[in-house]
């Protein structure tokens, strides 16, 4: 269970309040107007942004003072997920060890992740020789080998076409379920939420709202969400 307890997250003059609980194993879409603080929330959970007050707990253990690399968190961004000078297998291996000195077991783990995302035949390629969807799969494989409990996605598939995005979202949902992980995914597209998220966290007006059931929230949006959805 992820608990954000009376959190105040500040960025310059911007302030965001969060007090909510996310059940373990949930698939949550984080939606809200541009500039509302969705990325700020994700950065605070990942530890890239310090809390001004409040606390973050994972399964009863405080994460508030834990540095980003030691949190049970794996992240995927829209851009910059892959290193262009490294091969697919190296980019995935980075998820296990930054110096890429992997033992035999770890190399098997990397191969298994590549098989899981369907890229076993492209291990030696560099990102420039892959399609956008294949690059997304490499980034997902790296998340997979990290074996973290909490997966944070900040619009990672926004640049993909609709069919490919749907395919990647389904793959994410499958991987999250297989690994018993918990997903927080920022998206500007309500159909992404409907596709894979059981619940939605609305970020608006300086507040992170507690998770609400996806269909009922999107079918009957509160005013802040209605204005955003148009
Ligand atoms: N360095 C900064 N100094 C002051 N305010 C900032 C700074 N960086 C970001 N902000 C403000 O913080 C707020 C939240 O930004 P954030 O990127 O979290 O929003 P978002 O909901 O993810 O937006 P988008 O959907 O457009 O990506 C914005 O209103 C932004 O103007």
Mean pLDDT value across residues 14-20: 97
The residue with greater pLDDT, 61 or 159, is: 61
How does pLDDT run across 145-201, given as a tens digit for each residue? 998 999 999 988 888 888 888 988 999 999 899 889 999 999 988 899 999 999 999
Range with lowest mean pLDDT among 28-42, 70-84, 136-150 = 70-84
Which run of H or E residues covers position 34? Answer: none
Q: CA–CA separation, 221 vs 92, rounded Å?
A: 40
| Mean pLDDT estimate for the chain | 92
Range with lowest mean pLDDT among 3-17, 71-85, 112-126 = 71-85
Closest CA to 175 of 90, 107, 95, 116: 116
Residue bearing the CA closest to ligand 1, atom 2: 12
Q: CA–CA separation, 56 vs 176, rounded Å?
A: 21
pLDDT for residue 222: 85
**Between the CA of residue 97 and those of 88, 100, 134, 163, what are the distances in Å?**
15, 5, 22, 33
Q: What percent of the chain has pLDDT over 70?
A: 100
Q: Which atom of ligand 1 is nearest to the CA of 203?
A: 21
Q: With bands split at pLDDT 50, 70 and 90, how would you rate the model's confidence at 44? A: very high
Report whether residue 35 contacts ligand 1, using a CB cutoff of 6 Å.
Answer: yes
Report whether residue 40 contacts ligand 1, using a CB cutoff of 6 Å.
Answer: yes
pLDDT for residue 91: 96
Instruction: Quote the strand ranges of the chain, DSSP E.
Output: 2-11, 14-22, 27-31, 53-58, 61-62, 73-77, 150-154, 182-186, 199-204, 207-208, 212-213
Q: Which atom of ligand 1 is nearest to the CA of 43?
A: 18
pLDDT for residue 162: 87
Give domain 1-72+156-230's CATH superfamily. P-loop containing nucleotide triphosphate hydrolases (3.40.50.300)
Statement: residue 80 has pLDDT above 80: no
Q: CA–CA separation, 34 vs 155, rounded Å?
A: 12
Instruction: Give the contacts of 24 (CB within 8 A, at least 6 positions apart).
Output: 1, 2, 59, 149, 180, 182
209: CA distance to ligand 1 center in Å? Answer: 17
How does pLDDT run across 99-132, given as a tens digit for each residue? 999 999 999 999 999 998 899 999 999 999 998 8
Report whether residue 14 contacts ligand 1, using a CB cutoff of 6 Å.
Answer: yes
Statement: residue 78 has pLDDT above 80: no
Report whether residue 38 contacts ligand 1, using a CB cutoff of 6 Å.
Answer: yes
Which run of H or E residues covers position 75? Answer: strand 73-77
Strand pairing class (27-31; 182-186): parallel
Q: Which of left, alpha, beta for 52 (phi over 0: left; psi -120 to 50: alpha)?
A: alpha
pLDDT for residue 151: 95
Burial of 186 (0-12, 13-18, 19+ CB in 10 A): buried
15: CA distance to ligand 1 center in Å? Answer: 10
pLDDT for residue 96: 92
Q: CA–CA separation, 161 vs 151, rounded Å?
A: 23
Find residue 56's DSSP bridge partners.
4
């Amino acid at each position: 269970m992820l608990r954000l307890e009376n959190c105040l997250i500040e960025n310059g003059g911007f302030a965001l309040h969060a007090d909510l609980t996310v059940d373990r194993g949930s698939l949550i879409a984080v939606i809200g107007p541009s500039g509302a603080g969705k990325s700020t929330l994700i950065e605070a959970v990942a530890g890239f942004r310090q809390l001004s007050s409040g606390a973050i707990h994972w399964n009863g253990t405080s994460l508030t003072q834990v540095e980003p690399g030691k949190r049970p968190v794996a992240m995927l961004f829209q851009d910059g997920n892959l290193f262009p000078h490294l091969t697919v297998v190296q980019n995935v291996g980075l998820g296990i060890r930054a110096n890429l000195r992997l033992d035999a077991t770890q190399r098997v783990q990397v191969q298994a992740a590549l098989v899981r995302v369907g890229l076993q035949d492209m291990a030696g390629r560099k990102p420039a020789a892959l399609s956008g969807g294949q690059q997304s799969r490499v980034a997902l494989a790296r998340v997979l080998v990290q074996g973290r409990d909490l997966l944070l996605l900040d619009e990672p598939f926004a640049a993909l076409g609709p069919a490919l995005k749907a395919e990647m979202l389904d793959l994410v949902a499958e991987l999250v379920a297989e690994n018993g992980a918990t997903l927080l995914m920022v998206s500007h597209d309500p159909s992404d939420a409907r596709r894979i998220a059981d619940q939605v966290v609305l970020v608006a007006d300086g507040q992170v709202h507690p998770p609400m059931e996806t269909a009922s929230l999107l079918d009957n949006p509160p005013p802040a969400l209605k204005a955003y959805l148009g």
